[in-house]
A and B are shown apart, each in its own frame.
Chain A
């Protein structure tokens, strides 16, 4: 009964989110995010039909569709980067390099898992691969969050909602996948409920924060060239450093 309620609540919230996105013309601003929600919405209905009429095929259908979700989910992280830093070319440049490094560091692990799976593919292998892919997404999201914090990037309410919701979803998802990989079927029922409740919470956050368009967060253009800025900061830091060193020597 609870499972059915969560399922239907999810479909209703996804529908509401898509409807509001269409009504407030948010599709054009966040095309990848709404594509992701649209895909999950269609999947939820498909899985409901499969679960009701073909319960034996449910597990296979679930994992196959979940796998597609993971790849489309990467688009959401890409959108956070694109929209969040579009008016901050300096920070965007740093983010591009940091994300490339994160991608190169973690993608090797995913290929390793995929190669293991080519000999003997199982549900556990799918869980592991999904966990690794989610790990890449988390690493990328963390990189972006640190940059947003360090460079004090102002973010609109809409994008903050996407970032917060997707971050919570990813964190809980990777914890669940790790526990399922470790303990198998013993924790599957609990993990499934935790995941479903979290997803409903995240959909709630998205619905509230994306209900109406948020005001544009503008940025000032740099008054000086980077070289000049660097030189000035370097000399100011140098002055403070020499005073502190002086106190150490006194």
Chain B
């Protein structure tokens, strides 16, 4: 057992050393793109600030069924296909951007907290847990959008609802037949 653990530890060490060397090389070749750079951080803040302001509206449009229903009413399958395709792309980009935003928040935190003398381990663990939860949510949303499309989840929910109602009414019917 210890033999396998030792071999695994050596391989992991080589892997992490490789990542470390690659990352330090990348950081030295791109010094201007460091997140600590105040000008870039400022630009990002503006971009993300705008994102927060319009997020709610964009989100409602991209993930809602209204537009899809409207296009479906035009009876053009080509237009419908094109719209679903574009909506999917937009939604996936939005999810990826949210994931990157979460990563950036954590990077900014670690860069600031590494010098904090009063750092609390429980606080760091709590943040890691929240960050992981957010990553899981983003992953889940990504899979859902990939599989059913941005508005597809509504159809899925509606179909499930209808199926549930049919089952319930079927049961009620069967029960009334049995009692009569």
Contact = CB atoms under 8 A, between A and B. Distances in A.
A248 B115 contact: no
A226 B105 contact: no
Nearest to A221: B115
Given A225-B118, A243-B59, A237 B140 contact: no
B121 A142 contact: no
Contact of A244 (B12, B98, B114): B98
Nearest to A155: B24
Contacts of B137: 241, 244-245, 248
B115 A87 contact: yes
B110 to A, nearest CB: 5
Given A160-B24, A229-B109, A145 B2 contact: no
A82 interface: no
A164 B9 contact: no
Chain B: interface size category: 35 or more
> Which of B11, B13, B141 has the largest count of A CB atoms less than 10 A from its CB?
B13
A139 B8 CA distance: 11
Given A152-B107, A164-B21, A240 B134 contact: yes
Given A93-B121, A151-B110, A138 B19 contact: no
B169 to A, nearest CB: 27
Given A234-B127, A237-B130, A241-B130, A247 B59 contact: yes
A113 to B, nearest CB: 9
Contacts of A28: none
A91 B131 CA distance: 18
B131 A135 contact: no
Given A93-B121, A237-B134, A248-B137, A178 B3 contact: yes
A145 B12 CA distance: 11
A225 B121 contact: no
Contacts of B11: 171
A97 interface: yes
Contacts of B113: 90, 151, 222, 226, 229-230
B124 interface: yes
A60 to B, nearest CB: 25
B117 A174 contact: no
A171 B6 CA distance: 9
Contact of A171 (B13, B102, B110, B133): B13
A91 B113 CA distance: 8
B134 A244 contact: yes
A224 B110 contact: no
Given A241-B133, A250-B59, A164 B2 contact: no
Given A135-B9, A152-B107, A229-B112, A244 B19 contact: no
Interface in B58-105: 59-60, 63-64, 94-95, 98, 101-102, 105
Nearest to A237: B130
Given A167-B13, A226-B113, A90 B140 contact: no
Contact of B141 (A87, A138, A234, A244): A244
Contacts of B110: 150-152
Contact of B16 (A88, A149, A181): A149
A118 interface: no
B123 A230 contact: yes
A23 interface: no
A119 interface: no
A240 to B, nearest CB: 5
Nearest to A172: B10
B121 to A, nearest CB: 6
A224 B14 CA distance: 37
10 contacts: A90-B113, A135-B9, A141-B13, A148-B20, A174-B10, A222-B112, A226-B118, A226-B120, A226-B123, A243-B56
Given A229-B116, A237-B127, 9 more contacts: A91-B114, A91-B119, A149-B16, A152-B110, A174-B10, A219-B114, A227-B118, A240-B102, A241-B130
The 4 closest A-B pairs by CB, nearest first: A90-B119, A90-B116, A233-B109, A226-B116
